[in-house]
Amino acid sequence: MSEIPDELKYTRSHEWVRDEGDGIVAVGITDHAQELLGDLVFVELPEVGTELSAGGECAVVESVKAASDVYSPLDGEVAEVNETLADSPEAINEAPYENWIFRMRPSDPSQLDELLDAEAYAKVVEEEE
C-alpha cells in the first residue's frame, strides 16, 4: 500500500501539492508514482519564472526504465526549484513527500479546492491497480 498523507492535495496524474502559505505551494510526485517509476536517475527541472498552466507538462522525472512528465496541478508561475535533485534524484524515491520538485505561485488559489484530497486520491490509486 502506498503512503498518502492526509494533509496534502493530489492530482490524478500523481502529483502531490502542499500549501506552504504566503501564496506558495510545493509540488512533488507521490509514493505510488515513485514506486512505479523505480530508481530515479535524473530530474529535469523547470526554469524559475516559467508560466504554468494546470495540467501542462512542466518537469520530467527519469528512471532507468522510463521518463515521465510531471504536470502542473495549478495555473501559476515557478517560484523555486529543488536544486538538490540534480545530484540526488533518488531522494524522491526515499522520501517522496519531503523532496518537492518545484514550488509555485498559483495565480488562482481557488483551484486548490478542485484538487483531490487523500481519500479521493486513494481511490484513483486503487482503480489503477
Partner 1 sequence: MPFIPHTEKEVQEMLSAIGVASIDELFDEIPDELRAAPLEGIGPGLSEMEVTRLMQEKARRDGQPLCFIGAGAYDHHVPAAVWQIATRGEFYTAYTPYQAEASQGTLQLLYEYQTMMAELMAMEVSNASLYDGASALAEAVLMAVRANRKSKSKRILVPRSLHPAYRATVHTLVRNQGIELVELPFDAATGQTDLAALEAHAGEDFAALVIPQPNFFGVLEPVDEMADFARKNGLLSIAVVNPLAMAVLAPPGEWGGDGVDIACGDGQPLGAPLSSGGPYFGFLCCRQKYVRQMPGRLIGRTVDLDGKEGFTLTLQAREQHIRRSKATSNICTNQGLMVTAATIHMALLGAEGLAQTAAACHANLGRLVEKLTSLGEIEPRFSGPVFHETVLKLPMEVPGVLRTLAAHNILGGYDLQQDYPELENCLLVCATETRTEEDLDKYATSLQRVLASRRQGACATMVRFDLE
Contact positions vs partner 1 (CB under 8 A): 41-42, 44, 47, 60, 62-67, 69
Residue placing its CB nearer to partner 1 in the complex, 15 or 26: 15
Output the smallest distance, CB 60 to partner 1, in A.
Answer: 8
Q: How far apart are the first and last CA of the chain?
A: 10
Cα(36)–Cα(43) distance, integer angstroms: 16
Residues 39/67, Cβ–Cβ less than 8 Å: no
CB of 70 to partner 1, least distance (A): 13
* Beta carbon nearer to partner 1, 63 or 99: 63
Tell me the closest approach of the beta carbon of residue 45 to partner 1, in angstroms.
11
Distance CA 69, CA 91 (A): 18
